[in-house]
């Protein structure tokens, strides 16, 4: 088993309050904040035919990733609902024997459970920047 591509990273979105309330409650918009909205990117794993067969024996792709591949989700993501696409695995004749092409499994996630208590690190501000603006 070989991870050939790993571009999975947290998708961070910003919530901005429109501040348009009929009762004028609060006297303006609430402060905006960043939150983890999901994952973006993909994970491509090269498998042999035997490894592909073993993958099929697991109940979910998430369990297989955690137990067999030992893939760690990015910080702030508790769990993910994985989708997969399998490519390759045809038999090829080469002189007098057969060999099996590698199988590539592409994984991506559309739905995640983000940790509500996860806080991103505060950016490091330059001291000159702070003096100029504060």
Cα distance between residue 72 and residue 53, in whole Å? 22
Residue 45 has what DSSP assignment?
Answer: E
Residue 38 has what DSSP assignment?
Answer: E
Q: pTM (2 decimals)?
A: 0.70
Checking if the pLDDT of 52 tops 70, the result is yes
pLDDT for the residue numbered 3: 93
Checking if the pLDDT of 28 tops 70, the result is no
pLDDT category, 97, cuts 50, 70, 90? low
The answer to whether the beta carbons of residues 83 and 107 sit under 8 Å apart is: yes
């Amino acid at each position: 088993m070989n991870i050939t591509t790993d571009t999975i990273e947290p998708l961070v979105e910003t919530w901005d309050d429109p501040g348009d309330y009929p009762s004028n409650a609060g006297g303006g918009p609430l402060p905006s904040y960043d939150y983890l909205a999901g994952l973006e990117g993909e994970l491509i794993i090269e498998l042999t035919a035997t490894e592909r067969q073993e993958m099929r024996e697991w109940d979910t792709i998430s369990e297989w990733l955690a137990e067999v591949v030992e893939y760690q989700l990015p910080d702030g993501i508790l769990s993910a609902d994985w989708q997969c696409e399998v490519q390759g695995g045809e038999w090829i004749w080469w002189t007098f024997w057969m060999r099996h092409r590698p199988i590539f499994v592409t994984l991506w996630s559309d739905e995640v459970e983000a940790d509500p208590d996860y806080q991103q690190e505060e950016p490091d501000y330059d001291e000159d920047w702070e003096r100029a603006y504060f």
